[in-house]
Structure 1
Amino acid sequence: MSRPQSIAQHPGHSELLLAQMEQLNSANVNDPKAQIILNLKRQTIRKSLSLHNKGDDYDWDFWAFAICDFEQASKNQPLLISNVRRGIPPSLRGMVWQLLAETKELDLETQYMNLLKKSSPYEKMIQRDLARTFPGHTFFKERDGLGQEGLYNVVRAYSMYDQEVGYCQGLAFIVGPLLLNMPDEEAFSVLVQLMSKHSLRGHFTPDMEGLHMRLFQFEALVAEHLPHVSRHLEQQGVGSTMYASQWFMTLFAYKFPLNLVYRIYDVLLAEGIVSIFKFSIALLKHNQAVILGLDFEHLLDFLKNGLFEKYKDDDRRLVDDAGVLEIPSRRLAQLEKDHKTQSVKEAANARVLEELQRTNTALRKQTRELELEAAKYQQDDIEIKRQLDDSKDNLTALKEEEGTLKSLVVSLKEEIKALPSKVESRSTSEFEGLCEQNASLVQRNSVLEDELSNAELTLIDMKMRYAESENEREELQRRLYEMKKLLGV
């Protein structure tokens, strides 16, 4: 299948002249006489091009001169920008875009042909997304048609040309308008320049740092130029990422009519990325009254789908409204610096937060361990209390037995005192029996006193263990309280 040609080109006098211009521009002539002849031919072509397009609202003398000698024409930047803002003639748009992008000196078309011979790891993803890119446009809606083949080839080649970027769906929307104005190898060349020279590459890197910076700059510029709109968007909770991301990633091609997109490309290639901010603010400014009257849901839908309606059939007015806005490059540079500073602070805060989260996790773990340890000690304390209660019961029983024994001892002592008088009246055998009985009782009393002494020692030991357990329990409660206080529980 052959590569697609510009659908803006068609057989006719202008195209023949353009072909002759390209041939003349590519000629390398050192002979002064031959150079004079070439200059005369260029003048003839400019006059012929101007005459055949005299009825159009373009400065054909300027565009003929620009095509013939763009280097000289571009030296007068105000004149070049003025004519670009008025509009690049559709029949010249593809060629002028390439001249503005400065692609001819880079030999990117040869690299493109070589890249097409290689395979890309993103081929399936690219193929899957083709039908979602400009699905309503005749040139792109046919499966395996010229449009889809061109998109596939250019995006696949770029995914290998810049392997850090690889593939991102928004790329196809940038490529589409290029393919509608030039062949695919030239579209690839302009894409490379858009990504590098015009700083779109950062919108598609894995971290999208460039896109985050653009949105930061955009929000600051909206606050400066349209404070009421900025405040209303903030109050409604509508951030720039919700609607403006697609503007910067697709150069408005995702939703906007192609006649507006072409004009945006015209100005972008001539004036740089600052034009995207100007177009964005112009759109918000022109729709300010509507925006201020919408709530969140309707506001978000309008920002995505309705902003361009007032400009749909008046692309020149959009360019004019954007052109009157002043956004100094030093202001963008300052905002870029501010974004970098904020990013550094956010990264530092993220690291601190991550460290706090790790510390919090460790403290929670330590708290759980202490709680388990406290529960264990509490269980031990309950067991000690139970043992102490048992000891107290034993001690009470021993004391009761001690009282009984003391009463018995007193009784025995009284009996002993009365023994002499009784002994005299009793026989020797009875006296000996009583002595034996008395000795036995004395021995038993000694044993009982030893048991009482052991019981008292046991009681003292239990009291000391109880006091120690109370101290340990209080210390654990104090540590648990401090941990909960630290965690804010």
Structure 2
Amino acid sequence: MLSQLGIPLPFVLTMMTPPGHLLMEPDAYSLVDREVGYCQGSAFIVGLLLMQMPEEEAFCVSVRLMQEYRLRELFKPSMAELGLCIYQFEYLLQEQLPELNVHFRSQSFHTSMYASSWFLTLFLTFLPLPVATRVFDIFMYEGLEIIFRVGMAILQYNQTDLIQLDMEGMSQHFQKVIPHQFDSCPDKLILRAYQVRYNPKKMKKLEKEYTTIKNKEMEEQIEIKRLRTENRLLKQRIETLEKESAALADRLIQGQVTRALEAEENYGIKRELAVVRQQCSSTSDSLQRAQDTIQELQKHKRDLGKGVVRRTPICRQRVQAGWVRTLGEQW
């Protein structure tokens, strides 16, 4: 089997753990398949295998289960296969138990809350070991179909009780009541499981629908990521513009303050200029009056000068006449 898997025997043997250390087996597989790595759910499957066979055989069987029974896809970090199983199981629930499905939705009791562990651990953590081993045996033969059948059989068997409970009550019912309902008769659960309607063609169609939905979601996520990147860049640009706008606003306010101060200063200068102009006008008027007075005085002076000139010849004539008379008298 090891040669068929393409795994070197020395490598496998070096990865084997001491007996009793069950959690080391998944560690060994994580070194073989680094894409899947270590998944806690696989430890329960490996633990059951180690209870039935030696470690080397348990490791080889676990590798085969991972590669050929869809478990590898279930345990990938993306868990895309688990999402598909939940999608298909929800369809079965809606189709075959519509009342219970409506009640679950009204209580926000999502399928992944109770069914995820069913697919990841193949009921090994949910049902008692005798019942879980029966389910595991059928899984080895039929694959994941038995997980869908057993899950639906459990819900059908408990539908009446679950519809009467709220979310907390349903959680308690799944944890404490359902796991022990088939302790005494595991075959009862298996018989009910095979009464569940299961259409492989419909499940294949649902797989295609789910793949289409996920591809569309992936495209939308890529678009959302692109838009978020653009949004982040736009926010950065907006922040830069806001800073620039704030700086411009500060400069504008400073400019307005400066202009207000300049306007106030100009107003003061205008008032001073008006006073100076008024003083200048008064001075001009005074100067004009002074000039007029000077002109009048000069004119008056000229007039006085002309009067003196006219009087001088007359006086001279009078003096001469008086002198002549005097001489005449003397003679």
2:13 is the counterpart of 1:117: yes
Q: Structure 2: give runs of 5+ residues left out of the alignment.
A: 300-331
Q: What letter matches 1:255 in structure 2?
A: F
Q: What letter matches 2:207 in structure 1?
A: E
In structure 1, the partner of 2:109 is 238
In structure 2, relative to structure 1, the CA distance for the partners of 1:169 and 1:387 (3 Å cut) is: closer
- Deviation (angstroms), 1:107: 5.7
Residues 201-350 of structure 1 mapped to structure 2, 5 A cutoff: 201-350=72-221
Contact 2:128 2:180 in 1 (8 A): no
Cα distance in 2 between the residues matched to 1:292 and 1:306: 15
In structure 1, the partner of 2:297 is 425
Contact 2:2 2:8 in 1 (8 A): no
In structure 2, relative to structure 1, the CA distance for the partners of 1:243 and 1:423 (3 Å cut) is: same
- Give TM-score scaled by structure 2 length: 0.79
- Deviation (angstroms), 1:283: 0.7
Contact 2:13 2:56 in 1 (8 A): no
In structure 2, relative to structure 1, the CA distance for the partners of 1:161 and 1:358 (3 Å cut) is: closer
Q: Residue by residue, what CA displacement relative to the aligned partner does 1:227-272 show, whole Å, maximum 9, x if unpaired?
A: 2222222222222222211111111111311111121022222222
Q: What letter matches 1:118 in structure 2?
A: T
- Deviation (angstroms), 1:109: 10
Cα-Cα RMSD: 2.8
In structure 2, the partner of 1:173 is 44
Which sits farther off after the overlay, 162-171 or 224-233?
162-171
How many pairs does the alignment contain? 298
In structure 2, the partner of 1:4 is none
Higher relative helix content? 2
- Deviation (angstroms), 1:113: 5.2
In structure 2, relative to structure 1, the CA distance for the partners of 1:362 and 1:155 (3 Å cut) is: closer
Q: What letter matches 1:299 in structure 2?
A: M
2:252 is the counterpart of 1:356: no
Which sits farther off after the overlay, 340-349 or 152-161?
152-161
- Deviation (angstroms), 1:152: 5.1
- Deviation (angstroms), 1:168: 1.7
Residues 361-372 of structure 1 mapped to structure 2, 5 A cutoff: 361-372=232-243
Cα distance in 1 between the residues matched to 2:217 and 2:6: 44
Cα distance in 2 between the residues matched to 1:410 and 1:182: 126
In structure 2, the partner of 1:19 is none
- Deviation (angstroms), 1:179: 3.2
Cα distance in 1 between the residues matched to 2:255 and 2:31: 76
In structure 2, the partner of 1:475 is none
- Deviation (angstroms), 1:286: 0.6
**Identity across matched positions, percent:** 30
Cα distance in 1 between the residues matched to 2:184 and 2:6: 39
Secondary structure in structure 1 of the residue aligned to 2:174: helix
Cα distance in 2 between the residues matched to 1:110 and 1:374: 67
- Give TM-score scaled by structure 1 length: 0.55
Q: Residue by residue, what CA displacement relative to the aligned partner does 1:299-333 show, whole Å, maximum 9, x if unpaired?
A: 22322443232212111110110001121111111
Secondary structure in structure 1 of the residue aligned to 2:94: helix
Contact 1:177 1:258 in 2 (8 A): no
The structure 2 residue matched to 1:402, chosen from 250, 273, 296, is 273
Cα distance in 2 between the residues matched to 1:329 and 1:344: 22
- Deviation (angstroms), 1:110: 11
Q: What letter matches 2:144 in structure 1?
A: I
Secondary structure in structure 2 of the residue aligned to 1:244: helix
Contact 1:194 1:200 in 2 (8 A): yes
Cα distance in 1 between the residues matched to 2:126 and 2:281: 116
In structure 1, the partner of 2:247 is 376
Secondary structure in structure 2 of the residue aligned to 1:373: helix
In structure 1, the partner of 2:257 is 386
Which sits farther off after the overlay, 167-176 or 256-265?
167-176
- Deviation (angstroms), 1:106: 7.0
Cα distance in 2 between the residues matched to 1:252 and 1:371: 59
Q: What letter matches 2:294 in structure 1?
A: K
Secondary structure in structure 2 of the residue aligned to 1:345: helix
Q: Structure 1: give runs of 5+ residues left out of the alignment.
A: 1-104, 124-143, 428-489
